[in-house]
Structure 1
Amino acid sequence: MPIIPTRRAISGGIAALMLATAPALADQPAQAPAADAAAGAADAQNAPVDPDAVVARVNGHEITLGDVILMRANLPPQYQALPDEQLYEALVEQIVTQTLLADKAREAGLDQSRLAKLRARADARNFLAEAQLRREIEKAVTEDALRAAYEKKMAERKPVEEVRARHILVKTKEEAEAVRKELLDGADFAELAKTRSTGPSGPRGGDLGWFEKDMMVPEFAEAAFALEPGEISEPVQTQFGWHVIKLEERREKPAPTFEEMREELAAELESEAARAAVDAVREGVTVERPEPAPAPAAIRRDDVLIPR
């Protein structure tokens, strides 16, 4: 067990403490708000809000709405779903409790400990680094940039062939040959698949929908893509058993629309912007690494950060 509590462990402890100090949260399950309550919440979301507004005072400390908003934003999902009135009161009471505990910690000199100072430094560093990356990403991921990335991908896109096929899966070659003979004698493929196929597509008449060649096991793909529309294959063996395949259609796969690719494009632009931002700040910087360096195993020594 780690000596220094992790953020996840701390968050879990805070959540548990919230339940202990706010019986309303422990006793009442989260309920879906009614339509009128939802409408009221939507109106509240759009109303002017002052994050510096003081919501409580304790021991000379002011607790602001901004403090409450920040704590709410860091709650686990199950608490985010609670009604606002219930959650608001619990969060204010939780910050009051934390403030009183923090005062006791200062009285004991814990705010001067090495760990407290390192934690504060790490929190500030992490927040500012993330804020700078978000700033660069927001500048890079614009509607125009997304459109340009889409057009570039479409210009570079190579035609991809795909087919729509049905199949009937059975256990043995003899069964597959018997199925094929029935089909050649005029049996309806879809109806036969429903009664004879052991595969999951059987109830759908063996319909596999549209697929590209590399989406199927090689033996099946080679046989399917070699067929002409309406043609029925010889029995094909794969790791799943024996297949009889009917090709329904083939086409060039339609290009995805801009909206279909929006999230993927945004993720790519965000990644590129983050890499560029990191490269930019590191370019030309001299990093001094004093010698002798600590032994790599020293990073496991949590105990040296704990106050004595």
Structure 2
Amino acid sequence: MAQSGTRLVEPDLPAPAELSADVLPVSRRRIQWLFAAGIVAGVVLAAIGIARSGHNAVPLPPGAVARVGDAVVPRSEYERTLAALARDRKSPLTPADRAHALQRLLDEELLLQRALELDLPRTDLRARRALVSAVVESIVATQENAELSDQELRRFYEANRDWFRGPDLLRVRQIWFRVDSVDDAPRAEARARAAYEKLASGEPFDEVRQAMGDPESPPLPDTPLPATKVGELLGPTALRTLMELGDGGLSPPVRSATGFHILKLVERRSALPPSFEEIRAQVANEFRRRAADQALRTYLDELRSRTTIVLAPDVAKELLAADEP
């Protein structure tokens, strides 16, 4: 234990990756010991030493609880740490608890300063990603937590009504040719192609359906259905085919898991968007998402405007080529 006012100096501290295999187990045990909740006596003695050594130091600025090197530990952070510790305890905090909380903050600051000395934000990928994510989250949080009025949400809803509307409604009729086994497929396909030729020559859809198609079980509802529902009933291939047809369009035979289908798109309707009151929460979420994206783009534009960025010539050419139409 250092005496009051003593400053320990350990030059050329190794980076974590430089520690030998013999040292690592001992280091881990030491770290666990330092950060264990039960080391009350050691923490108290450390706190006493810190307090005494600060008697002759430069006074702390207002709102600071400690100085570690040139960095100041804010009192607000100390109080947040105490509040979090108090929530986990059923009894009032003791002086030893408070000393332990302070010691944790000091240890974290020491480790943070060492991480910066080792340039971990640039040399450690996990640290780099964590810092970038923290900056992005701090920018996005300002929009996610913003209070939104009904007036601005209604304006946003009206300006983006098409975005909030549901999928198109399709009224579809079909002639179905059942396939129960692999052996059935060639005969069913031949029947379907013969029926399609009759339709292409102008024979009425209902007559060809009655004469050549198989009974549907259950029948396809003769009413406008959401495109997603049509996909559930007929399969994704049939839905893709229908989406390419115009009103009154007729498809050649389309294969599905149950057989072959000749599809007729009777009508396509654009679904009306739900009322604002029905989807207010969805409108608010989309408003915040777009606002957060814009805030991040604006922030990055500001950073670019005040930063000189130099590219290697070959990379600059690639970037310019990518911008060309």
TM-score, scaled relative to structure 1: 0.40
TM-score, scaled relative to structure 2: 0.38
User: Based on CA coordinates, which of the two structures has the bigger radius of gyration?
Assistant: 2
